[in-house]
């Protein structure tokens, strides 16, 4: 695994208790970054021995604007600044369009879209003050392809795969990325999204084998494959890449 130099940088990773968030935190720590790990409860792997560098853990409800602002203030107070924000917090939602309740819609959007909006908004001021920043969101192929299932062949595939509530929230994340990338470009801040395809994790344990066979590389992705792209986007030298939605999906969706 090629080391991506992030020496001396401070990275706030939301959803750090999840599989992708944890992989991102470890990859960035391997590159020399100091890591602020945030989740609903403090991630259990925050010690330097596990991350290989300086880290601290924080608990925050990312759908609560007061808690998100307090989180960012605490990270700035503890580390002095925030160079990178990675919004990896997310929850899934399965099933057919007609089964999505308003309550389920709100539950998914609270974390997957509102939480991203709040975190991005909260780091703007400290990043502007520093004249530097890297924001990387975690989007999804489901924001682009209308879903992985093929209900015209097998309606049951939809019951075990991400649905329209999830896809719509992630599409919103993609849109936020484009807007903020333009607003912050003149301040030395880049904003990008990494859009994974199906990644082997607790969220995809029920993913139908028939859908795995649609992936040209023939398997689910790995968290470290997503983390590598995130770390690359956070590197100082990649200042000319902004407003991009970068696919990491094994060829499942090509655009």
Mind listing the pLDDT tens digit for each residue in 149-181? 999 999 999 998 999 999 999 999 999 999 999
Give the pLDDT of residue 201. Answer: 81
In a domain, 62, yes or no: yes
Alpha-carbon gap, residue 22 to 77, rounded angstroms: 23
* Diameter over CA atoms, the chain: 55
Q: For residue 45, name the pLDDT band (cuts at 50, 70, 90).
A: low
| Residue 138 token pair | 């975690």
Q: For residue 2, name the pLDDT band (cuts at 50, 70, 90).
A: confident
In a domain, 167, yes or no: yes
The residue assigned the tokens 């003050």 is 129
In a domain, 1, yes or no: no
Identify the CATH number of the domain in which residue 85 sits: 3.40.50.720
Of 116, 115, 141, 136, give the one whose Cα is nearest residue 204: 141
DSSP string computed for 151-182: TTT-GGGGGGSB-HHHHHHHHHHHHHHHHHHH
In a domain, 214, yes or no: yes
- Cross-strand partners of 37: 13, 57
User: Would the pLDDT of 18 be above 80?
Assistant: yes
- Of residues 42 and 67, more confidence is placed in 67
Q: Is the pTM of this model over 0.75?
A: yes
The residue assigned the tokens 């790995």 is 222
Give the pLDDT of residue 49. Answer: 43
CA torsion sign for 151, 152, 155, 160 is: negative
Of 49, 38, 187, 43, give the one whose Cα is nearest residue 126: 187
Alpha-helical segments (H) within the chain: 19-30, 48-51, 65-79, 102-109, 115-130, 164-184, 209-212, 223-234
Give residues with Cβ within 8 angstroms of 106, minimum separation 6: none
Alpha-carbon gap, residue 114 to 108, rounded angstroms: 9
In a domain, 78, yes or no: yes
Q: Which residues are catalytic?
A: 166
Q: For residue 52, name the pLDDT band (cuts at 50, 70, 90).
A: low
Q: For residue 207, name the pLDDT band (cuts at 50, 70, 90).
A: confident
In a domain, 202, yes or no: yes
In a domain, 97, yes or no: yes
- Of residues 102 and 160, more confidence is placed in 102
The answer to whether 37 and 142 have CB atoms below 8 angstroms apart is no
Give the pLDDT of residue 54. Answer: 78
- Cross-strand partners of 87: 14, 137
The answer to whether 19 and 201 have CB atoms below 8 angstroms apart is yes
Give the pLDDT of residue 234. Answer: 98
Give the pLDDT of residue 48. Answer: 45
Q: How many domains does the chain have?
A: 1
Alpha-carbon gap, residue 213 to 140, rounded angstroms: 18
Span 107-123, mean pLDDT?
98
Give the pLDDT of residue 34. Answer: 96
In a domain, 254, yes or no: no
Mind listing the pLDDT tens digit for each residue in 89-101? 999 999 999 999 9
Q: Which domain holds residue 52?
A: 10-248
Mean pLDDT, the chain, rounded, equals 94
164 CB burial (10 A radius; 0-12, 13-18, 19+) = buried
């Amino acid at each position: 695994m090629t080391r991506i130099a992030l020496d001396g940088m401070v990275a706030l990773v939301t959803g750090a208790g999840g599989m992708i968030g944890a992989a991102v935190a470890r990859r960035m720590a391997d590159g020399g970054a100091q890591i602020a790990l945030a989740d609903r409860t403090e991630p259990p792997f925050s010690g330097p021995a596990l991350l290989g560098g300086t880290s601290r853990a924080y608990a925050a409800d990312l759908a609560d604007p007061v808690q998100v602002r307090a989180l960012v203030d605490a990270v700035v107070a503890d580390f002095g600044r925030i160079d990178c924000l990675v919004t990896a917090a997310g929850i899934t939602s399965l099933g057919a369009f007609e089964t999505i309740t308003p309550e389920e819609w709100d539950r998914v959007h609270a974390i997957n879209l509102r939480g991203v909006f709040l975190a991005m908004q909260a780091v703007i001021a400290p990043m502007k003050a520093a004249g530097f920043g890297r924001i990387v969101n975690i989007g999804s192929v489901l924001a682009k392809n209308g879903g992985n299932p093929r209900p015209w062949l097998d309606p049951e595939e939809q019951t075990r795969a991400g649905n329209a509530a999830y896809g719509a929230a992630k599409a919103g994340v993609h849109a936020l990325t484009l807007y903020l990338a333009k607003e912050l470009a003149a301040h030395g801040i880049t904003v990008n999204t990494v859009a994974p395809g199906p990644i082997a994790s607790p969220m995809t344990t029920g993913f139908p084998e028939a859908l795995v066979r649609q992936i040209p590389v023939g398997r689910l992705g790995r968290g470290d494959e997503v983390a590598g792209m995130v770390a690359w986007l956070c590197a100082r030298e990649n200042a000319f890449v902004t407003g991009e939605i970068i696919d990491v999906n094994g060829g499942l969706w090509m655009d």
